[in-house]
Amino acid sequence: MSKPSSPSRPGVAADTHARALRVGRVALGLVTLLLLGLLARVYQLQAAPPAAVAALIDGQIGTRKLEARRGAITDRRHRALATTRVAHLLFVDPDIVKDPNTFSERIGYPLGYEPANIERAMAKRRGSRYIVIDPHMSDERWKKYRQLPPLRGLATHPVLIRDYPQGHVAGQLVGFVGNDNQGLDGLERALDQRLTPDPGQHAFVYDRGRRRLWLANKQYRLQADAAPVRLSIDLNLQAIAEDEVAAAVAQFGAQSGQGVVMDPYTGEILALANVPLFNPADFRKLKSDPAIADAQRNRAATDIFEPGSIFKPLVWAAAVEAGLADPDELIDCTEEGHWKPTRGPRLRDSDPHGVLSWADVLKFSSNIGMAKVAERMGKPMLHAVVQSYGFGTPTQSGLPGEVGGLLRPLDKWSWTDLSRVPMGHGVSVTGIQIARAFSALANGGVLINPTIHYRDGVTSRDARGLLDMHANITARVLSPRVARLTCQVLGRSVGEPDGTGRHARSDLYTIFGKTGTAQLPKKDGRGYQAGHYVSSFVAAAPLHQPRLVVAVIVHDPDKKKGYYGGTVSGPASKRILERGLRYLGVEPDVAEPDTPELAAAPVH
């Protein structure tokens, strides 16, 4: 008999296998669900964490301002006139200072602060945990601070400050910023919006020990430094102009002085000297020191003066242009040296000249000769001539606070104006306006827009070094022939031994220019102050291809030392032209230079 087979062992194994498979699937499913749950939780924590968790995360993130740099102000060769640098603020947390007396001595003596002041500051703001000892530590103090052993309660943090590395050079022009880095004066104020940077922010995630882990991307914002502003000023020419104007002011005991150096073809202002000099770093003393407050003004743009005889070449050229006078025409300037116009008060020349040619009227600066020809012009034409040079309106040079001078409307002109305006009385101008008008003579008769900004891409020089200046032209005021003729006559005024501008004669360059001496008006506007003058000289060189126009105006020189424009301002103009042209690499056109040290003349 055969033994019945067991109820299928393979069947049991299959059951076990199937059960294990089911259990395995269920387990796998559960694990999958668990993992999906975890994934969802991670997503929730990342995307929208609960308030408690979010607070915990926020507590681990610290944000800091990412400082951006205020735009630098540079000269035409990218040399910094105003820049931003980092200083360090020194502060104390009195909460963790055990003995204020010892503490103030331990930091006061080595760093050069008065310990009593530190202690007083700490006592004054009791309860505060942030007491500033020094808002901007000097470099020396910062070095000493770093050598000090760590002191609980004392710390620093970096702050941005505006730095004026050139000191007084172009100080009035550049201006200054306040403690919050906002422009308060000069170009710092005028260009404040352009110079203001856009600060950013960076945020870090910290661990429990406040150690920096990584950047928190969401709170990160990149800073944007402001672009630098490039001026037309040339730092070397500026230093030369300031040097020479300051020397003239000191030599003649004058109250103040201005110097303008301009490129006659582009209208770029290459130097703008104002004496007394002003260092923008001294702006905190403005209120306490009247001398500093007085020096702060950019006189070349904001102060007006009666130009005197430097006005004559403009009227002289207009008369020639209109055919009302010929350079060789003889004009009777009287043997007595005085003359009564058809209408208006009597006129005088400084010396009797007798009969002069129209060219010599300009060379000898005869008031009578000018007035006689002005009578031929008449008031409307004379007014139109003065207006055509832009007098009476600001030049739009971009200089802050620039004024337009005074030119009364034609219907307000009296007959006196017809004889006085040609000799530079009855109108008021700025140094910039005079330099611009003279530039028109120097560049062949074209009135250009002066500018304080570098004209990149607007100007170009051809093979002869001549400039294409079409972009800057305001108007043509003279024909090239008459402009050239006027310059030649002015060249005689400087180059000939009996010319009024002989003090500006150079052994290096052919200079042409005009002297001006005008009395200062009384403060109430009625009449003039006896013995007080504005002595000016406007010049350009070289005669055949002028590269620089220079105007030097000296206010109220000591009469005993000299007051004629030719004596006071002429030599200064000459020195600026000589040193400036040599610096620019312009070959002397008179003779070989025998004074090579000119460009490196000692600082006055």
Partner 1 sequence: MFFRLLATAAAIAVVAAALLALRQQRLRTLHAMAELHVQMDADRKLTWDAQALIAEGTHPVALRAAAQRAGLELQTSLSADPAP
Nearest CB to partner 1, comparing residues 185 and 234? 234
Say whether residue 39 binds partner 1 (CB under 8 A): no
Cα separation, 533 vs 306, whole angstroms: 10
DSSP state of 567: H
Q: Min. distance of Cβ 244 from partner 1 in angstroms? A: 13
Stretch that binds partner 1, among 83-91, 289-297, 397-405, 567-575 (CB under 8 A): 83-91
378 binds partner 1 (CB under 8 A): no
Q: Report if residue 583 touches partner 1, rule: CB under 8 A.
A: yes
Residue 156 Cβ, how far from partner 1 at the closest point, in Å? Answer: 13
**Burial, 16: exposed, middle or buried (Cβ in 10 Å; 0-12, 13-18, 19+)?**
exposed
How many residues are there in the chain? Answer: 604
Of 167 and 480, which CB lies nearer to partner 1 in the complex structure?
167
Cα gap 297→381, rounded to integer Å = 35
Contact 276, 256 (CB under 8 A): yes
Query: Mask 5-24, x = binds partner 1 (CB under 8 A)?
Result: ------------x--xx--x
Of residues 86 and 384, the one with the C-beta less far from partner 1:
86
DSSP code of residue 280: G
**282 sits near partner 1 (criterion: CB under 8 A):** no
Q: Which of 60, 79, 178, 590 binds partner 1 (CB under 8 A)?
A: 79
The residues in 47-76 that bind partner 1, with binding defined as CB under 8 A, are 66-67, 69, 76
CA dist 568 and 561 (Å) reads 9
Closest to partner 1 by CB, 514 vs 582, is 582
Tell me: does residue 204 bind partner 1 (CB under 8 A).
yes
Q: Radius of gyration (Cα) for the chain, nearest Å?
A: 38
Burial of 219 (0-12, 13-18, 19+ CB in 10 A): middle
Identify which of residues 185 and 268 has a Cβ nearer to partner 1 in the complex.
Answer: 268
Match 């109220």 to its residue by tokens.
556
242-271 mask for partner 1 (x: CB under 8 A)?
---------------------x----x-x-
Interacting positions 126-165 with partner 1 (CB under 8 A): 158, 163, 165
Nearer to partner 1, 64 or 481 (CB): 64
Sequence-distant contacts of 244-248: CB under 8 A, at least 24 apart: 244/273, 244/552, 244/572, 244/575, 244/576, 244/579, 244/604, 245/273, 245/275, 245/552, 245/554, 245/572, 246/273, 246/275, 246/277, 246/604, 247/572, 247/604, 248/552, 248/554, 248/568, 248/569, 248/571, 248/572
CB of residue 250 vs partner 1: minimum separation in angstroms? 16
User: In the structure encoding, which two tokens stand for residue 428, read together?
Assistant: 């008021």
The answer, yes or no, to whether the previous bond of 352 is cis (omega within 30 of 0) is no
Does the protein bind partner 1 through residue 589 (CB under 8 A)?
A: no
- The residues that touch partner 1, with contacts defined as CB under 8 A, are 17, 20-21, 24, 66-67, 69, 76, 79-80, 83-86, 158, 163, 165-167, 169, 202, 204, 212-215, 234-240, 263, 268, 270, 461, 465, 547, 582-587, 596-597, 599-600, 602-603
